[in-house]
Every structure is written in structure tokens, then in C-alpha cells.
Amino acid sequence: MRMMTTLDAQKQRLVEELVEAKEQIALINAQPCPDFKILNYYMDVVSRDTQLVEMIDSHLFGEQESRASSWVC
């Protein structure tokens, strides 16, 4: 079993933030007169956090592949 790294912890925090932002977007959209400034803020949070999670995943998977190839040699 792999121990949680700093990147794992950062990813977990970002995923939690993504869930909260998406919940806020749903609540804002459900209002009769949504506040578009706040809506745009949460949309930006979702976009940014999604990109960061993808970058972390890319780094973690790349790291695992390089470790696996070093074990084979």
C-alpha cells in the first residue's frame, strides 16, 4: 500500500473544493435571479481545480511509471 504523499493530500483537498464549488453552482443556478459574479467565480474554481487535479494525476502516474520501469531493470 502506498503512503499518502503531499501531492495526494493536495489532490484530495482540490477534489473536496471541486465538490463544494459544484454544489454552490447548483444552488446559484436554482435561484430565480442568480448572481452571475458569484457564479463565474465558482465556474473559475471548477476550471482551475480540474486542471490542477489533472496535472497532479499526470505527475503521479508518470512517477509510478518511471518507478515501475526502474524496478524492471
Residue 19 lies in a domain: yes
In a domain, 57, yes or no: yes
- pTM of the full structure: 0.75
pLDDT tens digit string along 59-73? 887 755 544 444 443
Q: What is the mean pLDDT of residues 9-29?
A: 97
Give the residue numbers spanning the domain of 23: 6-72
For the chain, the farthest-separated pair of C-alpha atoms sits apart, in whole angstroms, at 62
> Per the domain annotation, does 1 fall within a domain?
no
Instruction: Supply 31's cell numbers.
Output: 435561484
Q: Tell me if 44 is assigned to some domain.
A: yes
> For every residue of the chain, which 3-state class applies, written as one string?
CCCCCHHHHHHHHHHHHHHHHHHHHHHHHHCCCCCHHHHHHHHHHHHHHHHHHHHHHHHHHHHHHHHHHHHHC
